[in-house]
Amino acid sequence: MQQTWRWFGPDDPVTLADARQAGATGIVTALHQRNRGEAWPLDDVLARKAEIEAAALTWSVVESIAVPESIKTRTGDFRQRIDAYKASIRTVAAAGVKVLCWNFMAITDWTRTDLMWRLPSGGYALRFDKVDFAAFDALVLKRPGAEDEHGSDLMRRARAWLATMPEGRMAEIERNLIDWVPARETIYDRASFQRQLDVYKDLTAEGLRQHLFAFLREIVPVAEEVGARLAIHPDDPPFPLFGLPRVVSTAFDARELLEAIDSPANGLTLCTGSYGANPANDLVAMATELGPRIHFAHLRNTTREADGSFTEAEHLDGDTDMIGVVGALLYEEERRTREGRADAIIPMRPDHGHLLSTDIGRKSNPGYSCIGRLKGLAELRGVMRTLEHQRSRTGQQGRPSHS
């Protein structure tokens, strides 16, 4: 697999030089200053590509050309925004960047309640806490129907926690939930967030799924035309938030999406952390079954709790069999090579990372500090090298087996 690194552009405190020193050869980035649904200018794309190549790296994956809310809801200027999206696909492909990671999450993008969860080691992790979320959703935002959705036990715990919560903690939870994500199309306050929720109030999961399929029917032919590969990222977390529908959360969802628009250009980002936060998903089985349509991999791990809360774990710990996933992806690369596929090599990146050592106290995007990701990439590289070495020594053919 090609080892890549997420970079948020020239303002990212973690530099291209840091990425290269971590051992990455590819960069995953976007024109984050153009994330409001406009078409990307070729000059801007070429300038970004030149900046990456000047650091002796390759722009391997676009992540992401943002999908405006109007496209997801098919309201307002959605037709104009779809045309702009098609133009951006053509532009990045003309510049030689052919893998596009994107998502169809309603409003929130990826969501955590805690961006600085203290670990026993002294480092910090990202965390989603169901009690924190229920306290904000039902008792602060006061979303209609929220209490019934969360259930009596969770609401009892949420009320008790809100009554004893340290001063300032709820404001922090609110900021984490609705207004911080880097490169999001829109930054919300409570009032604007509620207005956007109102736009979705009559849109069911099946309705959003059909909007997703309708969008794919428009953009997949463009990707086919220019030789691009679309890789949809799953919902994160992989369950409904704020009453909003989720339609890319399970193996079933992924299978339905691939079957609905059956084209090699329509594929997946296998995010082991996002899918892995749902205990119903078997990531090794998904990597094996869906491997031919996996165009990109985010490799990270989570430790789940009984109530649905989860904490981002070490890359090789947590509830996902990361060694099994890597083995399945390496087998898929071998299979593609035997078929003569031009896209035999799957780009991967260490997704997120703990905040560690001298990075603590330094400015960075949550989950995207340097040392934690460097550590994760080194661990994943070790797994890949070991599996490749074992297979080369034994001449093993067929699917890998791992204990």
Active-site residue identified among 32, 150, 233, 354: 233
**DSSP bridge pairs for 102:** 232
Active-site residue identified among 150, 352, 359, 370: 352
Element (H, E) at 25: none
Pairing between β-strand 114-118 and β-strand 124-128 as defined by DSSP bridges: antiparallel
**Residue 191 and residue 197: Cα distance in Å, rounded?**
10
**Residue 291 and residue 279: Cα distance in Å, rounded?**
20
Active site residue 354: no
Active site residue 153: no
Pairing between β-strand 124-128 and β-strand 310-313 as defined by DSSP bridges: antiparallel
Active site residue 368: yes
Active-site residue identified among 18, 114, 129, 351: 351
Active-site residue identified among 32, 200, 271, 275: 271
Active-site residue identified among 85, 124, 200, 368: 368
What tokens appear for 108 in the block? 């929130």
Element (H, E) at 175: helix 169-178
Active site residue 101: no
Quote helix, strand, coil % in the chain, to nearest 5: 45, 15, 40
Active site residue 351: yes
Q: How far is CA 53 from the centre of its chain?
A: 24
Cis peptide bond upstream of 279, omega within 30: no
Return the axis-axis angle of helices 251-260 and 205-226, rounded to nearest 10°. Answer: 50
What tokens appear for 16 in the block? 């291209």
Instruction: Please answer whether residues 270 and 259 qualify as being in contact, where contact means their C-beta atoms are separated by less than 8 angstroms.
Output: no
Active site residue 352: yes
Catalytic residues, which ones?
233, 271, 298, 351-352, 368
